[in-house]
Structure 1
């Protein structure tokens, strides 16, 4: 009888260990691209990240900077009032409906050869929303203005 209890206990411990290893493996797989750090244009110009580092760049879309290219690709400039970064959107999705000049946005991608290559874009989801990170960046540079509604 004791050997059966011992055997069951060992089986339960082995099953729990396997489940734990699978969970750790899945978490590691989820973070294979690393944690996406947020940076402002000023931070990128001060210390350019590694060309293989995937990160988020946020700020305002500079007025008059959106230039259409082939298909869903286009160029624009992200600014925080103190610095500007040229951005080329090379993602597969069309431009978000509420993506426009003078509005806050977050682009996800890589900074290579003095230009940010955006793979994904996050835009506001209503007329008054702006991502918290963008607001913090604009407040730090003294450019932020409260929305009027």
Structure 2
């Protein structure tokens, strides 16, 4: 085999290996992506059944219920327009409380969001940017609808 053919063979092999590696990297990144939705978007059906995602908003006042086992809780998250019930089994963050911003990661079955992780704001001024934007958008939509009536 001539040196030129050997070199071409090495180049083709290198390109093939890089292509395969790229496919694996893209697949791994796609599996680890977690999208954010508001309660209104979830209720509108923008999320598939058993799809893993984040939901965020305000913990609805009066909705927090703790079970006797000490680690199972139920609460609701709302964005000013829609309320979604959330069930979580685990230890809540210290700063988690009603009337404050929170983000939960988990699955929606069409009735209840089952959280695998719950994140709470870390100071009194913080809210996840996606949640703040969604809440602001819901308030703007509500104002627009009131003005039209």
TM-score (norm 1): 0.79
Which one of the candidate residues 111, 115, 131 is aligned to 1:114?
111
Q: Which runs of 5+ in 1 are unaligned?
A: 144-149
- Mean CA deviation greater in 76-85 or 105-114: 105-114
Match of 1:133 among 119, 130, 135: 130
Cα deviation for residue 16 of structure 1 reads 3.2
1:61: Cα distance to partner?
0.5
Aligned partner of 1:64 among 43, 62, 67: 62
What is residue 74 of structure 1 aligned with on the other side?
Answer: 73
Contact 1:78 1:85 in 2 (8 A): yes
Aligned-partner SS, 2:50: coil
Label 1:10 to 1:85 Cα distance change in 2 as closer, same or farther (>3 A): same
Poorly superposed stretches of 4+, deviation over 3 Å: none
Matched residues in 1 for 2:6 and 2:31: separation? 37
What residue number does 2:10 align with? 11
Shift of 1:130: 0.4
1:52 counterpart (44, 50, 56): 50
Q: Which residue of 2 is the match for residue 25 of structure 1? A: 24
Distance 1:139 1:117 in 2: 25
Shift of 1:103: 1.2
Residue 22 of structure 1 aligns to a residue whose secondary structure is helix
Distance 2:125 2:86 in 1: 24
Please give the alpha-carbon distance, in whole angstroms, between the structure 2 residues aligned to 1:15 and 1:47.
45
The normalised TM-score by structure 2 is 0.79
Distance 1:82 1:98, change over 3 A: same
CA distance in 2, matches of 1:4, 1:43: 61
CA RMSD of aligned residues (A): 2.3
Structure 2: segments with no counterpart, 5+ residues: 141-149
- 1:48, CA displacement in angstroms? 6.4
